[in-house]
Structure 1
Amino acid sequence: MTATDPNAPRLRADLGGLALSVLVASLGTSAANVALPTIAADLGGTVAQTQWIAVAYLLAMTATSLTVGHLGDLLGRRRVLLIGIAIFSGAALLSALSPTLGALISARALQGVGAAVMMALPLARARDLVPADHLGAAMGLLGTTAAVGTASGPALGGLLITVAGWPAIFAIMAPLGTLAALLTWRIHDVAPARAGRRPFDVAGVLLLTGAVALYTLGVTTPGTGDQWPTAAILGGAATLLLLFVLRERRAAQPVLPLALLRTRAISIGAALNLIVGTVMMSTLVVGPFFLAGALDLSPAAIGAIMAAGPVASICTGVRAGRAVDRFGTRRMTTTGLSAMIAGALALALLPAWWGLPGYITGTVLLAPGYQLFLAANTTGVLAATPADRRGVTSGLLGLSRNLGLVTGASLLPALFAAASGSTVVGAAGVDALTSGLRITFLTTAAALAVAVLLSLVRSHDRGHR
């Protein structure tokens, strides 16, 4: 696609609609979190109860990611994307009008289902629309818009609370979703292959949704003193996952064709997504404790420092995608992971020597590496996917990323607290917090080194150019 291509303006408009879908769904993830204290005071509820406003959204989005991709392959990706946007926008209005905390949590869970569609299917639709030699740039654009939504969500939410109250955070998502739907409506759909002869795998969907939901609950909600509820929840998740695999082996039209996982580019790509998703939670869940406890920064200053990573992602996302188109997915996946290792090592070592500048340096190295990895890995996986399975593969990428995020949100704070020598992180001293930060990011660097090895194993397959 070139500037003189007569189809270029239409394609840019189509990509704009897909990018807006990703942007709005990302706003739904981050903008509401800043309103939790205000909502708790307004509707009544404990901190733990109010956290379910965020947990319900993440749980629903994670549990349905693969299913919505499967539906896109069966019914048509544009059609399912429009349905997902309608669900998201309608649930946003219900959230804004919720009279009770329970109603708000229910509406947020429904909104999470719509968000799963809006995060997964634009990847598959981009693969349908964009020439193969420009696919990396398209993935870079979608990654950049996700970063913009995540970075701007808290600031937008805070502004809306001040001007119009917390319902405005949800109300504004409805017209944005409507605009995304209007832009998406004009995109020509790809006819689903054998749509009339591919039954919906209800049993597989229920087993997978239950397994993912239980796992997400198990790692995002605390157990009691002896932790038996958490162990029971995770055991139930493992049992349902086993039943899901057995079901998929026998199903005529499985929701997750196991043959896809035998394609090295797809299975390793999903594994890399999970590892990197886990690592990327480190700056979000560990960074604030270090910045507040060891560097004695105010909440406003912490927010500004934490914006450095998303800003770096925004500045480099599209360029990263173009680099993928130029140099290929294999080289750029490994390069992105290597940059992330450099960032993790910098975060492990430099804050002890340089303090805040060292922390910012590590963050600014980590985030662009993630954008490069994301564009290269997604491009490589979708390039290896048959045309009639792009929806389910996009859902698999979303599922693996979200599982990594919830796993990192659980494991990394626990590691940081243990490495700091105190289960109550606020009670640890500066040296202990610095040591905890070092051990946490050395661990993430080791996980990324494993990812590099997996990437090199995948590189034996023919790379995308």
Structure 2
Amino acid sequence: MSPHSDSATGHRQHRTGGEDGTASTGAHRPAVRWALAGLSLFVLLSSLGTGIAHVGLPTLAQVFSASFPEVQWVVLAYLLAVTALVVGAGRLGDLVGRRRLLLAGISLFTAASVLCAAAPTLWLLVGARAAQGVGAAVMMALTMAFVGETVPKERTGSAMGLLGTMSAVGTALGPSLGGALLAGFGWRALFLINVPLGIVAFLLSHRRLPADRREPGGDRARFDHLGTLLLALTLAAYALAMTLGGGRFGALDTALLVAAACGVALFVRVESRAASPLVRGALVRDPVIGPGLASSALVSTVMMATLVVGPFYLSRTLGLGAAPVGFVLSVGPLVAATTGVPAGRLADRFGARRTTLLGLLTMTAGATALSLIPASLGVLGYVAPLAVVTAGYAVFQTANNTAVMADVGPERRGVVSGMLGLSRNLGLVTGASVMGAVFTHASASADIASAPAGAVATGMRFTFLVASALILVALAAVAVVGRAVPPSDA
């Protein structure tokens, strides 16, 4: 069993949200539904904040008379803040109270959205986006942690599936909603749309989320300021190295990677000596949590390949225009959105580990098919295996999150939830750079935007062959865990 299982048992009353563990009874179901509605809005807003700004970059470049590398910081500032702070935000929630911090996070996110819309200069907009990212880091870190506080354990998978669905909806909605707002109301509407949603999320959470509980007596752990700062700087250096060069590593990118590697070594040393470390070594070595985090990062790396490779294959090899390419690319998030809740029910019924394996096997089949398809099959030949990959990802993510969070004690739920968010973010950041570099190399073209159709098709197939290998590594890790840990969730 997981070392946290006794803690989970001891806090069953706290998990279910009722004094006698009866959150699943009819009297408590409406409260649970409203709490989940609030948590779903947090996930929707944080994922929407990632994708909606991309579509406005060309307009922002014109409005502020800025270069494209300069306006990219509108996206990078948000991404860096989320990546650097999500684990620290989770740990802070464990210490000061998750409800209190979550309400502060949505307040900051909403206020920063207003500042983004009112920004008179580009760099004030970038600063407001960074503040928005801080609020989003809190929201990402604490939403999954609250599932254990509001939902009975037997329905955890369904709740995780709902949150996964809302994340996919936000991702799918970002470009299309952003385009509509941009065309109808201008660039400021890209940020103002968050304000009414943020207010609703605040009100729902203020009324429906359980109050923070403090243990009577005893010493409360101290927040690890040095460890948090080191981790934030290390993650920021890595994220910058992966994004600034666009897959082409120059002197600056290499220096940032070296700094990130040194930061990891220093962080491990500091944490081993800290009285109350941000991340305990035993947590990472846990036979469920460690492989769960690693497989989440690997699978997210693969999913980013679909966004990196897809537009070039569809436009250069299949000859689609901009509008059809956008429509085809929306298939993935839409499949994920419709698969999340059923995936959660599968995890509840058959066990999280079995469902995780099913998701990874499905992804492997889809990625392998993408590595073999001939261009003569056209759009359907690409969309069908893409849908399989995305459905597998939705099943994996829901089940893996359920497995990782299942037996974590209340005092560590925030930091583990933050680590799950971090693993996904790191996978997406790595995938954008590394899988893009693999695609470019396999296409044997200096400029992929003008590469011949056949070269792009070759690059696509090789990239998904590498993706299949990465999924198999994740599959092996989960399979080993399945043999090492008794199937208590089956």
Partner Cα distance (1:55, 1:73) in 2? 28
- 1:88-124 Cα offsets, whole Å, 9 max, x none, are 1111111000111111111111111111111221100
* Correspondence for 1:17: 38
Contact 1:75–1:195 (CA under 8 A) maintained in structure 2: no
* Correspondence for 2:402: 379
Distance 1:278 1:87, change over 3 A: same
Quick check: 1:457 aligned with 2:475? no
* Correspondence for 2:131: 110
Q: 2:73 aligns with which of 52, 55, 60?
A: 52
Mapping for residues 42-81 of structure 1, pairs under 5 Å = 42-81=63-102
* Correspondence for 1:218: 241
Partner secondary structure for residue 72 of structure 2: helix
Q: How big is the shift at 1:190?
A: 3.8
* Correspondence for 2:122: 101
Q: How big is the shift at 1:384?
A: 2.8
Which amino acid in structure 2 is aligned with residue 342 of structure 1?
A
Partner Cα distance (2:315, 2:233) in 1? 38
The count of corresponding residues between Structure 1 and Structure 2 is 465
Which amino acid in structure 2 is aligned with residue 191 of structure 1?
R
Q: 1:158 aligns with which of 146, 166, 179?
A: 179
Partner Cα distance (2:408, 2:335) in 1? 30
Quick check: 1:425 aligned with 2:448? yes
Q: 2:256 aligns with which of 233, 240, 252?
A: 233
Distance 1:353 1:192, change over 3 A: farther
* Correspondence for 1:286: 309
Partner Cα distance (1:3, 1:127) in 2? 13
- 1:155-202 Cα offsets, whole Å, 9 max, x none, are 111111111100011011022111101111121134255796211111
Quick check: 1:323 aligned with 2:343? no
Partner Cα distance (1:141, 1:199) in 2? 34
Partner secondary structure for residue 373 of structure 2: helix
Quick check: 1:416 aligned with 2:439? yes
Q: 1:124 aligns with which of 145, 155, 170?
A: 145
Partner Cα distance (1:224, 1:177) in 2? 35
Quick check: 1:253 aligned with 2:276? yes
Partner Cα distance (2:285, 2:143) in 1? 24
- 1:65-86 Cα offsets, whole Å, 9 max, x none, are 1000001100111111111101
Q: How big is the shift at 1:385?
A: 1.4
Mapping for residues 169-188 of structure 1, pairs under 5 Å = 169-186=190-207, 187-188=209-210
Q: 1:404 aligns with which of 427, 431, 440?
A: 427
Partner Cα distance (1:174, 1:103) in 2? 19
Partner secondary structure for residue 198 of structure 1: coil
Which amino acid in structure 2 is aligned with residue 461 of structure 1?
V
Contact 1:95–1:107 (CA under 8 A) maintained in structure 2: yes
Distance 1:2 1:102, change over 3 A: closer
Contact 1:88–1:110 (CA under 8 A) maintained in structure 2: yes
Q: How big is the shift at 1:292?
A: 1.1
Contact 1:215–1:237 (CA under 8 A) maintained in structure 2: yes
- 1:198-253 Cα offsets, whole Å, 9 max, x none, are 11111001100000000000110029998111111110111111111111111111
Q: 2:213 aligns with which of 178, 191, 212?
A: 191
Instruction: Extract unaligned runs of 5+ from structure 2.
Output: 1-21
Q: How big is the shift at 1:348?
A: 1.6
Partner Cα distance (2:170, 2:218) in 1? 34
- 1:384-424 Cα offsets, whole Å, 9 max, x none, are 31221000000000111100100000011111111011121
Q: How big is the shift at 1:363?
A: 1.1
Which amino acid in structure 2 is aligned with residue 414 of structure 1?
A
Q: How big is the shift at 1:426?
A: 2.4
Partner Cα distance (1:264, 1:7) in 2? 34
Quick check: 1:362 aligned with 2:385? yes
* Correspondence for 2:6: none
Q: How big is the shift at 1:257?
A: 1.5
Q: How big is the shift at 1:437?
A: 0.5
Partner secondary structure for residue 286 of structure 1: helix
RMSD: 1.6
Contact 1:205–1:255 (CA under 8 A) maintained in structure 2: yes
Partner secondary structure for residue 355 of structure 1: helix
Partner Cα distance (1:308, 1:224) in 2? 26
Which amino acid in structure 1 is aligned with residue 486 of structure 2?
R
Partner secondary structure for residue 281 of structure 1: helix
Distance 1:303 1:346, change over 3 A: same
Contact 2:162–2:341 (CA under 8 A) maintained in structure 1: yes
* Correspondence for 2:7: none
Partner secondary structure for residue 288 of structure 2: helix
Distance 1:179 1:195, change over 3 A: farther
Contact 1:337–1:369 (CA under 8 A) maintained in structure 2: yes
With the length of structure 2 as denominator, give the TM-score of the two structures: 0.92
Contact 1:74–1:195 (CA under 8 A) maintained in structure 2: no
Contact 1:351–1:357 (CA under 8 A) maintained in structure 2: no
Quick check: 1:343 aligned with 2:366? yes
Contact 1:84–1:113 (CA under 8 A) maintained in structure 2: yes
With the length of structure 1 as denominator, give the TM-score of the two structures: 0.97
Contact 2:59–2:187 (CA under 8 A) maintained in structure 1: yes
Contact 2:23–2:151 (CA under 8 A) maintained in structure 1: no
Quick check: 1:295 aligned with 2:318? yes
- 1:303-350 Cα offsets, whole Å, 9 max, x none, are 100000111111111000000000001110010001111111122222
